[in-house]
Chains A and B, each alone.
Chain A
């Protein structure tokens, strides 16, 4: 197989690898972000229930720091979805005021939580730790002032497990597609570059007979280089004829 043909096939394989790889990458990340979004919005539905209860309490004049039924409400909502590991409510300093896990009350939440809440353009915010995802809602009073933050911690396992399964299947589909291309592309390329290779062969064949002294010009091979080959041969022939003439005159001189 000619080196040029090999190079063309390598190009086809590199480009196919890039395209299939990118498609697999895009599908995998789309799947992951979609499933993360679905799970997060599912958790936020529960968060909205809590938010509505808090706002109803604030509307009747209760103080945010003194919501007596809050811990029971959080426990009830946590129990409504097995995905949720715990629910915390913290103030603007990051100190936990209410929680489904009593030991967390009074502790500080990680800075990333308060930063994510502060950075968010809407009332919803989210952040991640290696083993947990956190979906949050900024709690506002009637005057649209943020009084605290609700954070629902849920396991990353569900998303990770689903992403792993999907990732494996997408990868498998991509490998099969790539292998299919690796088989088909070289064959298709060989068909397409046949004409080019024929031209090159004609050129090479003509070049191997460059020094033939036949007076007849070589028959045209129908290649793109016929004119160039013709020129090459006639130039060489002219030079050889001139040198032959010189030889003849030298010989004639004895």
Chain B
């Protein structure tokens, strides 16, 4: 549609300008922060160097107290090496004698060090008693000099060099987070543009385009809609007014003709015939009067779901990068259950509740109303997040997380229903693009920001932020229209029946898609992204923020590749190939850890996993409709997709469980490799199973 592309061009231009402004602002904040860091951290590090120097001096004096000559000490350089290991900001250490000659040294000597050591002021330090230390800038280092003085006899001076660039290194770590903030800001910008201006603009321009189309087809029926008081609203009001005038004119002319016809007889009646014919022609070509009720598009109300959904999903996504570490902190021993499994338990339970709850919550939300169901769900989740933030131990944490899961399932299903209620065949895909868009943006922003928050304000306060976000979503849900939209043709949704589940899980064609593609894809997603990555990153000495960045890579891949792969797989109609390639790439991802356990390799694992999932995810569900037509004919669309979604979500629940069991057996790296190998096997099996002609025509087993 012209107006959509037009708006998106404007959005990107605006986002570009806003990003340039944000980058300038971030650069300014970083510059000033660097100055503060430089000024405040260096003196503090000098004090530390003096303390370290005093410790080394004590060792030296202990050795000389045994009668060893000061210039003949053994192992001084090794002691320096140990100091460097514990204090990476120290770049150089040396002991000089009273003449300033270097006796022992380690590390990179700064330019001008030798002449500095022979400087009379520095040589004088050796003669000073007590804990005196002096600092000076020499080359690229700050040199802290400590006297070595044996009961009044000067022996020499110990020099500790602090790398002046250590402040840069500290700030470089912040820079990575700032880049994350930039990426998140870009997505926030697009989301906010859509929320604050775009929703109204899009629906306004959409309404304008529809009005133009209606008028082109001769439809001049008047709609009684309240227009917004903005540029587009005023424009639509003018069009409404023009249509109203036409209708008034038409009504007047029709009334006049009818009056004349009523009073006319004979020849006079005959003279009115041309006018009658003209009216008939107008009746054929144009439509006047009032537009039938319900014909209005509900696009504005449809767009209003995006903000509450985004805020709610963001609340949950914020926890992704640090939840396993938080569980680890609250861990209590459960007899007979490995701690690794216990850590995965809250994630597994969450996924299980969502999987089992969704099919039944759909019809519940239909009964009580979508808005009310979303409100109940968001309130439950808010309580759940608050409880999680205050959790005493694992047991109550599980309870609170279960509440979050139930709330999540309610909001998700009700929001899905809200979109379904307000879309028809023509705009359903557009409605779901809006729905999935909100979720994807939350997936990009949530884990990275959550990780940063967890590292800086702690896990509990970060859960508090999630509770706050869920609370914000309640306020946004509250603004949704109170009237529910129910079309007469709409059938009530229902969860799949046990008979249907049993019949479909023994159906080869259905299970080829579900068991070899959908479930393994979800197992590796939750096993790797929600369980292994957060725990493994922290186990190798990294932070939750880094885990968040990793998960952001996955989400960005999904955002970028899914639309592309969806359109390509639709266009080529080779969806099974996309699923095969996606599964195989996902399966190869974890095998990278066989090459190395380095951090960059882990980045590659998440990147490949994101790529693989993005290639296969859109094609997977489309394949159900494509290849299970017979099953859909027998059991119905709801039942087949219901069972498919149920099994897919059970895969979500199984992921952390399988990953944790694999960790017990083979450790984190082994678990990555084994999970990937499982998916690779499924990918190859799927490729073989869908290759050949029998894949197209196998009958269902009722």
Contacts and interface: CB of A to CB of B under 8 A. Distances in A.
Which range contains the number of A residues in contact with the other chain? 35 or more
A80 B51 contact: yes
B173 interface: yes
B271 A253 contact: yes
A25 to B, nearest CB: 7
A207 B271 CA distance: 38
B209 interface: yes
B251 to A, nearest CB: 11
B253 interface: yes
A19 B274 contact: no
Contact of B253 (A10, A16, A184, A243): A243
Contacts of B48: 38-39, 41-42, 45
Contacts of B193: 8, 11
Contacts of B211: 232
Contacts of B14: 8, 11-12, 189, 192-193
Contact of B246 (A185, A193, A236): A236
B275 A19 contact: no
Contact of A20 (B26, B37, B174, B256): B26
Given A34-B170, A166-B40, A16 B18 contact: yes
B211 to A, nearest CB: 8
A204 B235 contact: yes
B291 to A, nearest CB: 16
Contacts of B54: 80
Interface majority SS (helix, strand, loop, mixed), chain A: helix
Contact of B275 (A41, A119, A246): A246
Interface stretch (A91-99, A102-110, A175-183, A214-222): A175-183
Interface string A154-194: 00000000100110011011101110110011001100110
Interface string B261-292: 00000001001101100110110011000000
A33 interface: yes
Interface in B212-244: 212, 215-216, 218, 220, 229-232, 234-235, 238-239, 242
Contact of A249 (B20, B26, B197, B274): B274
B215 A181 contact: no
B260 A253 contact: yes
Interface string B37-79: 1001100110110011011001000000000000000000000
Given A11-B18, A31-B36, A20 B29 contact: yes
B5 to A, nearest CB: 10
B131 A80 contact: yes
A170 B36 contact: yes
A169 B197 CA distance: 35
Contacts, number: 261
Interface in A211-250: 211, 224, 228, 231-232, 235-236, 238-240, 242-243, 245-247, 249-250
A196 to B, nearest CB: 5
A34 B38 CA distance: 12
Interface stretch (B115-123, B176-184, B419-427, B649-657): B176-184
B245 interface: yes
A12 B21 contact: yes
A47 B107 CA distance: 25
Given A33-B456, A173-B28, A232 B215 contact: yes
Interface string B421-459: 000000000000000000000000000010010011100
Of A166, A177, A238, most B-chain CB atoms within 10 Å: A177
B196 A236 contact: no
Contact of A253 (B13, B197, B272, B452): B272
Of B131, B170, B285, most A-chain CB atoms within 10 Å: B170
A114 interface: no
B33 interface: yes
B215 A236 contact: yes
A35 B177 CA distance: 19
Interface string A1-28: 0111001101110111011101111110
A170 B44 contact: no
Nearest to B20: A188
Contacts of A14: 188, 192
B245 A211 contact: yes
A58 interface: no
A166 B29 CA distance: 12
B465 to A, nearest CB: 12
A162 B40 contact: yes
B238 to A, nearest CB: 4
A35 B13 CA distance: 41
Nearest to B229: A3
Contacts of A33: 456
B41 A20 contact: no
Nearest to A236: B242
Of B10, B29, B40, B44, most A-chain CB atoms within 10 Å: B29
Given A19-B22, A23-B181, A211-B245, A177 B29 contact: yes
A238 B212 CA distance: 13
Given A25-B456, A174-B29, A180-B28, A243 B274 contact: no
A200 interface: yes
Interface string B1-35: 01000100010011011101110111011101100
Contacts of B253: 243, 246-247, 250
Contact of A31 (B37, B55, B177, B188): B37
Contacts of A130: none
A106 to B, nearest CB: 30
Contacts of B182: 19
Contact of B215 (A10, A180, A231): A231
Given A2-B231, A176-B28, A228-B209, A243 B249 contact: yes
B178 A23 contact: yes
A178 B24 CA distance: 10
Contacts of B234: 204, 207
The 9 A-B residue pairs whose C-beta atoms are closest, nearest first, are A173-B32, A29-B456, A235-B215, A249-B275, A207-B238, A7-B197, A27-B33, A42-B48, A3-B230
Given A23-B33, A210-B238, 15 more contacts: A4-B201, A14-B192, A16-B21, A23-B181, A27-B174, A29-B457, A31-B40, A38-B45, A45-B48, A166-B37, A173-B29, A173-B33, A173-B36, A200-B232, A232-B215
20 contacts: A4-B201, A7-B196, A15-B22, A15-B189, A19-B25, A22-B184, A22-B452, A25-B456, A26-B174, A29-B455, A29-B457, A166-B37, A173-B29, A185-B18, A189-B14, A192-B14, A210-B242, A235-B218, A242-B278, A249-B278
